[in-house]
Amino acid sequence: MTIERVSFVAGACGEWRIQSVTAITGAGLPVATHLKRQEGGEPEDGATWTLRGVRSHQRYTQRPEAATLMARQAGLDRHDASHGALLPIVKSEAWWHLAQDDRRAIFEETSHHIAIGTEYLPMIARRLYHGRDLGEPFDFLTWFEYAPAHSAAFAELLSRLRATEEWRYVVREIDIRVVRS
């Protein structure tokens, strides 16, 4: 997979209008009116805040899971997916000190992240970006797009994931909701 850079730029313009910025765990972010998701290139100056990440290889997904995801998932930029959510996330040092196989066990065998998430495909389109190795403030930038009719499903997905063992390692999470402007 190509390592593609992304910048989420909050400011006065952008294709998404920000509806809410909610600190779920830890500190929030300043309020802005618009958000731009820019893959590649360098964002312009003058933003209220900019969060950066890269698309990267998969750490935990096993082959049958990858095949199921490929078969079911929808791409971004669907015409009817007028709602979006950016959830920047930081996991604790305890998480990062675990061995890879222990992290996988918590992520899937105990928390069923992929199994739960797959239930919401193709309704919810998703993209995961990594920020930790860039020295960014967030380990992950998670991005979702969905139709208004699937807002309740997205809320249910969030509450199921936040109740898992995996989320006990989440020390900062912000829930930024947007609609296409």
Sequential DSSP letters for 29-65:
----SEEEEEESS-PPS--SEEEEEE----SS--HHH
Q: Which is nearer to ligand HEM, 59 or 78 (CB)?
A: 59
Residue 13 beta carbon to ligand HEM: minimum distance, rounded to whole angstroms: 26
143 binds ligand HEM (CB under 6 A): no
Cβ atoms within 10 Å of 149's Cβ, excluding its own:
10
Q: Is 47 in the site for ligand HEM (CB under 6 A)?
A: no
Q: Taking Cα atoms as reference points, which of 119, 122, 20 lies closest to residue 80?
A: 122
At residue 164, the 3 state secondary structure works out as coil
Query: What's the closest the beta carbon of residue 24 comes to ligand HEM, in angstroms?
Result: 9
User: Counting contacts by CB under 6 A, is residue 161 touching ligand HEM?
Assistant: yes
CB of residue 44 to ligand HEM, shortest distance in Å: 28
Helix, strand, coil fractions of the chain, as percent rounded to 5: 30, 35, 35
Instruction: Tell whether residue 110 is a contact of ligand HEM (CB under 6 A).
Output: no
- In the complex with ligand HEM, the residue whose CB is nearer, 12 or 115, is 115
Question: Phi/psi class of residue 120: alpha, beta or left (left: φ > 0; alpha: ψ in -120 to 50)?
Answer: alpha
Closest residue to bound ligand HEM by CB: 117
Residues at the site binding ligand HEM, with contacts judged by CB under 6 A: 58-61, 69, 87, 89, 91, 113-114, 117-118, 120-121, 124, 126, 128, 140, 142, 157-158, 161
